[in-house]
Structures are given as C-alpha cells and as structure tokens.
Amino acid sequence: MSPRRLFASAVVSLALIAVSTGPAAEAGPIGATNSGRHQIPVIRISQYTYHPQRLTVRPQQPVVVVSFDYILHSIPHTVTSNDGLFSVRPRPLAIFRAPKAVGQYGYHCQIHSWMTGVLIVS
C-alpha cells in the first residue's frame, strides 16, 4: 500500500472513530446495519466524482467527506449545497451536519461545476 493510501486509511479511520464516539454517537456504531441502526454516512470524492451521488441521511446526522483526489493528487474540491446550507472543503477530510429539515439538497463542487450530488434528509 502506498504511503498516501495508508495515510488516507488512517485519516478515515480516525474520523469515523471521532464521529462514532463524540456527541453525535446516536448515528450508530460503525458497520451497523439498517435494521434500526445507521451507518456513518460517507461521501467519497474520487476521479472528480462524488460516491455515492445520492446519499440518504437523518436530520442533523454527521456526514464525513473524504477526498481521495486531494490525497493522491492534491486536487481541491468542495461539497457545497446549492442553497448555501452547508459547504466543506475536504483536505483530505471534512465533517458536516445534515440540515434539520427533511428534503433533498443538491450539492456541487465550487471549483468543478460539473461535479454534483444529492443529500436526501429523511
């Protein structure tokens, strides 16, 4: 495993531990199934694409964003809601809380306008 990928794995692991043990622990343990419990939602950025492009979360649930483009190539990206409710720039990692209101929130990269996704709060 390359040093950058090893570093990325360590950063993601630490972020998931922090999210699952901090005040937002109600999100559920890492690896939980959807049978009454939820996994920590993660938006991965790789090759100028958000993965998954549609992510369903609960209101105010923490969302982890990891940019593998930044880790591997120092390419900056953002996850910015179309209505300005959230905006993060993972270098290589960022965490934000989903909006309180139920609905669909389109988001994009401020630097690469063709990069789009949808956060579904339900």
User: For residue 70, how many other CB atoms are within 10 A of its CB?
Assistant: 19
Q: Residue 49: what pLDDT?
A: 97
What pLDDT score does 39 carry?
A: 83
* d(C-alpha 114, C-alpha 101), whole Å: 26
How many whole angstroms separate alpha carbon 49 and alpha carbon 55?
Answer: 13
Mean pLDDT of the chain: 81
Are the CB atoms for 57 and 63 separated by under 8 Å? yes
pLDDT beyond 60 at 24 = no
Q: For residue range 27-66, what is the model confidence (pLDDT) as tens digits?
A: 333 333 344 555 899 999 999 999 999 999 999 999 999 9
Report pLDDT for 21: 40
CATH code of domain 3-121: 2.60.40.420
Parse the chain into domains and list their residue ranges.
Answer: 3-121
Enter the pTM of the model. Answer: 0.72
- Strand boundaries in 6-77, DSSP class E: 42-46, 49-51, 54-57, 62-67
Give the pLDDT mean for 79-88: 97
